[in-house]
Amino acid sequence: MDNFPETVEDFLDGQILLINKPLGWTSFDVVKKIKNLIRTKYSLKKIKVGHAGTLDPLAIGLLIVCTGKFTKLISKIQGQEKTYTGTITLGGTTPSYDLETEVDNNYETAHITEELIKDSTTQFIGEIDQKPPIFSALKKGGERLYEKARRGETIEIESRKVTVREFTINSIENLEVNFEIKCSKGTYIRSIAHDFGAALNSGGHLSKLCRTSIGEYQLSVAIDVETFKKLLNK
């Protein structure tokens, strides 16, 4: 990260920090860690810190963290187009649409060809109707959907409009389809993985996900939390 902030005033006036979120961490875990590091370094009672766009615990990649007055920019930043790379594993579905839960149904895959996989991407390009996963942080009746899902409740989820500008297949290795997607705010890549499996008359779930960009902000110049700590205390 260029021009790392050097004073407490830098953080209070506002910073946009590009963080490479590690596997297994929630987005809130990253925000909490960054906030505590800044508070400890400068003996602050409080400082505003937030993130611009949630990444699931099983996803890695670019998480934009804003501090101080720049937390006002969060809605503007997270509204920009996002780019993801990842892997869809065919032949099985999971309740969470990813590896947070175990495979609950297996499907035939013998009929799936490389041509069918690539042709099927066209169904997901442009403005599409998408149902978010039941295992998501969206709220219904004042409660997170994943909390209802973990209790085994049946929940009716309304579809919503999202936009996928590009859906590229980078490689196919047996039942693993490696892709890149450029999409609008609010797009669930897990839902695309699930629906893509259905479009192939089979099943599918997301097994890997990495966010590589948000608007002009790139993962290639992001730093991990440990590097942030070292630069902060240098």
Catalytic (active site) residue 98 = no
Helix (H, G, I), strand (E, B) or coil at 227: helix
Is residue 83 within 8 A of residue 27, CB to CB? The reply is no
Instruction: Provide the β-strand partners of residue 204.
Output: 90
Residues of the chain with pLDDT under 70: 1-2, 135-146, 148-155
pLDDT in tens, 130-177: 988 876 666 666 666 667 566 666 667 788 999 999 999 999 999 999
Contacts (Cβ under 8 Å, ≥6 apart) of 61: 20, 21, 55, 84, 209, 210, 211, 212, 219, 222
Phi, psi values for residue 62, rounded to 5°: -70, 120
pLDDT recorded at residue 156: 72
The amino acid present at 69, given as its one-letter code, is: K
- Domains belonging to the chain, first-starting first, are 8-79+216-232 (3.30.2350.10), 82-214 (3.30.2350.10)
pLDDT recorded at residue 175: 96
Q: pTM value?
A: 0.93
pLDDT recorded at residue 1: 59
pLDDT recorded at residue 66: 98
* Annotated catalytic residue within 2, 10, 56, 224: 56
What's the whole-number average pLDDT of the chain? 93
pLDDT recorded at residue 152: 64
pLDDT recorded at residue 137: 64
Give the span between the Cα atoms of 118 and 24, in whole angstroms: 31
pLDDT recorded at residue 158: 82
